[in-house]
Amino acid sequence: MTTAKDLFIITMDPGSKPSVGQGDLSLALAGAELIDLIGAGAVTVDEDHIVPGGPPTPDDRLMGEAAAGLTRQEPYERIEDWLWRRGRDLSAAYQTALEEDGELTRKRSGRLPFGSERVALVDSPARRRAADRWQEKEPVLAALASVVGINGERPDDEPGLDDEAMTTVVAAIHDAVMELEAVRQRRSIENAAFANLWRGP
């Protein structure tokens, strides 16, 4: 399992409140992949640019796709640009992958066979591993979860990240999530103004 999959599992846990938006989660998953690539020595961070190292060979399929998608020619890609490019619909890709691996299952709500479907976590080693990391307040997972709003604000005594590159990535995810929220608010205001225009005085 990877940090991104652990993060996805944590957000799917029924105890995670509030629920995480798909756009926010996709950005955080892209950042989690980048953090794992840094940890594996596959990339380094030069200021705000991603510098590929040796050819990585991740066992995980989605991590392999992330590694294969790295820009390997100068000028190297900025972290922010990576988050938006790699993050597009990434939460859906992780849901599909976890369903294929048997980590998620689809259930119908209610007793009727035609009730709405929902996705639920399976009691699996992967879920227990993610839960262990979360309960131990593992710094990287805790920082990523905080960015997408799980369990509210981080407590003051929560351990920080020791690695400067990972800290840079988490800060970039935070900025991207804030930018996405600003876009949502702007669209909401525009839609409300448009509706009022049609409604008339």
Task: Choose among 18, 27, 17: nearest CA to 144.
Answer: 27
Question: Looking at the 3D structure of the chain, how many domains does it have?
Answer: 1
| Each residue's pLDDT tens digit, 34-89 | 999 999 889 999 999 999 987 666 788 999 999 999 998 999 999 999 999 999 99
Q: Which residue segment(s) compose the domain that 139 sits in?
A: 3-199
For the beta carbon of residue 61, count every other beta carbon within 10 angstroms: 12
The answer for residues whose C-beta is within 8 angstroms of residue 159's C-beta and 6 or more apart is 137, 139, 142
Give me the pLDDT at residue 167, please.
Answer: 92
pTM (2 decimals)? 0.83
Query: Which structure tokens are listed for 193?
Result: 């103004």
> Distance (Å, rounded) from C-alpha 188 to C-alpha 194?
10
Q: Where are the alpha helices (DSSP H) in 13-135?
A: 22-39, 61-68, 79-86, 90-100, 125-135
Q: Within the chain, which residues score under 70 in pLDDT?
A: 14-18, 55-57, 108-117, 152-160, 193-201
Cα R_g (the chain), whole angstroms: 19
Q: Is the dihedral of CA 163, 168, 171, 172 positive or negative?
A: negative
Query: Which structure tokens are listed for 111?
Result: 């007793």
> Distance (Å, rounded) from C-alpha 79 to C-alpha 77?
6
**Enclosing H/E stretch for 187:** helix 164-199
> Distance (Å, rounded) from C-alpha 169 to C-alpha 79?
7
**Enclosing H/E stretch for 49:** strand 49-52
Query: Which structure tokens are listed for 121?
Result: 């976590």
Give me the pLDDT at residue 59, please.
Answer: 82
Give me the pLDDT at residue 156, please.
Answer: 42
Phi, psi values for residue 129, rounded to 5°: -65, -45
